[in-house]
Structure 1
């Protein structure tokens, strides 16, 4: 029993590296627990108070030249203020902070409070709802405590970790646990969609944006969500890996206000047991390429439909979300080494990580008052537009980017791809302008919406 206790304490003692573990030399070392580690890391974890102003609902008669006066104020509501509470982690002496997008992404006023009660105003430098990450800059921050990022690809299941945050607004709290899973994709609740580290360290509401640290005090992940039916912690929490955080910090330092992901320009599906058997694979692994855009960097590197991708930079990929994560970690303008399996032969191919090209030019424009849908904003579908609106690789035509005055009334939605108007094929924004200028008494618009063709009819 004493030997087991000594072994556990050796693992917990923060002054020792993995290669320099030793038997505790005194009773004080045996009983000290996590206290030195918490003293070292906790000052860099902050509480975040965000104020979000939600716009009120507009009257359905707003803008109508006749009914607006008769139904003034009908159905409209006043803007409402929503307060958000969460956590964040300081990553530099001059006050660069990382938190969750759902905590601060839409905030109009952000207040950051350190563990020593110092307060700072903050502004969002870069935010991304899909990854649920945001990078903040503290106003006037200097010589602040901060945490160093660890290579999260070296994290192993079973490692001891601490979660630090502000659960339920009760104040800074520390909980302990282990890494209970890696490469969790699509499992977390909330806005984050991607690749997560799983931990059994208790994470509760308010812990969002807080730190998940290892026994050396390095940051390995940003706590983002829990898997729970009751809303409380059940020992299944998720953290965004530090390697992705590093790319966010890098792009924020370059002045970007939105996160730019490398564009794959392809669609794929995980290789399950049945698919592996049909492909003659010994084990189900990798992603089968099912569609490939002509301008895709993978197509330009020699990949084809039917190829299987098994690794990116030596790391396994077994789902589309893992693929996106690995490309994002590689970073824009970098070259990733991708392992391809084709007809039983395995090879490594270098693929350039690029943003989705604006080719041909999207040519965004807003329709004028001489059309039947004034204010409608559209753009030509190209790779950049596909990536922004999550459109199929085969999509062609123009996409609706703003509904204008009457778009919603006739049933249009943002992201709809306009295919034809009154049987006239639409290929460019100018085709839409021509078709909606004095089109006749009846208009029929064919759109592609979430993979389905939808026909909209209205009278002018």
Structure 2
């Protein structure tokens, strides 16, 4: 991922200022910038984006195609959108039909009172132009970004659920005691999950977080994120037709056991290969299934890339021996003249053989 070394902020009155990144997050494609050596700039108040309603008038501000600052108008056409072509993308967005084109990303989506509802981030298009389906990051999530930035963080940390789940469809609703489809059925749970500590288990249905209905895992993580790390969320659970409310601690993914991160040096057959022992934090960073254990590749390096290894691969066996830690892998790759390796990639087990 490239890192900007020179950031210029250009105002509508053509003044320019230097700025630097305070906090960034690649997953949401959002960063907090601090403008250097300036005071007295006006700002937009943040709207409670949970109060935004479908049908509200909205203005999208941006610099489409580099023509200069432009304002387009429309309405809020949807809420709780994933932003994906098939509805399965990551995130939680406000949808608007205000024309948004390339160059609008990072611009404000404001209401008729001038309050910030969200920040424009993407469009749904097949041609590259606006088709009236644009997405904005809600203001409440932006507020959570600002809170962590003010606390000194340089990257956004989402609360860790430590569980997996899937939306409850029409065919599952009645057997689970629901009068209509909705909620998330818990399909997996990590032993260190704060949800498990609160009393939830596989087979439970999560219907709401802090009184707000959730229907996808992305919605649930969004609700946890806007509540904030270090706090508690009230989760509504349905089990055997009985509803209950449980308090769940919102924590960062634990670094236990220690990841023991290392990068193989020139004495190894694969110099530059970066490894880590899998723990909840590594699971979250790499998007690995909750049940995975062992040693993960966090960077395949130039030589790992040549033989087909990828970031997120889990190394299971090297030269016939199971490996439990990054140092185990280093030992095998340092002393061997040729290597056979078995890795887990998703649901596949792949075998690699190579020699210098």
User: Scaled by the length of structure 1, what TM-score is found?
Assistant: 0.74
Partner of 2:4: 107
Rounded to whole Å, the distance in 2 between the matches of 1:230 and 1:401 is 35
Q: Is the Cα–Cα contact under 8 Å of residues 164 and 207 in structure 1 kept in the other structure?
A: yes
> How far 1:247 moved relative to its partner?
0.7
Please state whether the residue corresponding to 2:306 is helix, strand or coil: coil
Change (3 A) 1:141 1:246: same
Match of 1:406, SS state, is: helix
1:175 paired with 2:72, answer yes
1:422 counterpart residue number: 319
Deviations 1:44-81 (A, max 9, x none): xxxxxxxxxx9xxxxxxxxxxxxxxxxxxxxxxxxxxx
Contact 1:188 / 1:238 at 8 angstroms: preserved in 2? Answer: no
What does the per-residue CA deviation read over 1:159-211, in whole Å, with 9 as the maximum and x for residues that have no partner?
1111122222222222221111111114379xx83111111111111111111
Tell me which residue corresponds to 2:334: 437
- Which stretch of the first structure deviates more once superposed, 407-416 or 282-291? 407-416
| Unaligned 5+ runs, structure 1 | 1-53, 55-104
Contact kept, 8 Å, 2:83 with 2:135, in 1: the verdict is no
1:366: how far off?
A: 2.6
Partner of 1:213: 110
- Does the residue aligned with 1:182 lie in a helix, a strand or coil? strand
Unaligned 5+ segments in structure 2 are none
1:459 aligns with 2:352: no
Structure 2 CA distance for partners of 1:319 and 1:431, relative to 1, 3 Å: same
Instruction: Give the structure-2-normalised TM-score.
Output: 0.95
CA offsets, 1:327-384, max 9 Å, x none?
Answer: 1111111110000000000011000100000001111123344433334321100101
Partner of 1:281: 178
Judge conservation of contact 2:83–2:124 (CA < 8 Å) in 1: no
Change (3 A) 1:246 1:188: farther
**Structure (1 or 2) with the larger CA radius of gyration:** 1
> Is 1:161 equivalent to 2:58 in the alignment?
yes
Distance 2:178 2:95 in 1: 29
1:126 aligns with 2:23: yes
Partner of 1:102: none
Query: What's the counterpart of residue 387 of structure 1?
Result: 284
Question: Which shows bigger deviation, 441-450 or 236-245?
Answer: 441-450
Please show how residues 48-197 of structure 1 align to structure 2 within 5 Å.
106-187=3-84, 193-197=90-94
Q: 2:26, 2:302 → 1: CA distance?
A: 27
Q: Which deviates the most, 327-336 or 427-436?
A: 427-436
1:259 paired with 2:137, answer no
When residues 431 and 183 of structure 1 are mapped into structure 2, their CA distance, relative to the original with a 3 A threshold, is same
Aligned partner of residue 216 in structure 1, secondary structure: coil
CA shift, 1:232, in A, is 1.7
CA contact (8 A) 2:323 2:329 kept: yes
Structure-2 change in CA distance of 1:408 and 1:164 (3 Å): closer
**RMSD, matched Cα:** 1.8
Per the TM alignment, residue 404 of structure 1 is displaced from its structure 2 partner at its CA by 4.2
The match for 2:200 among 296, 303, 316 is: 303
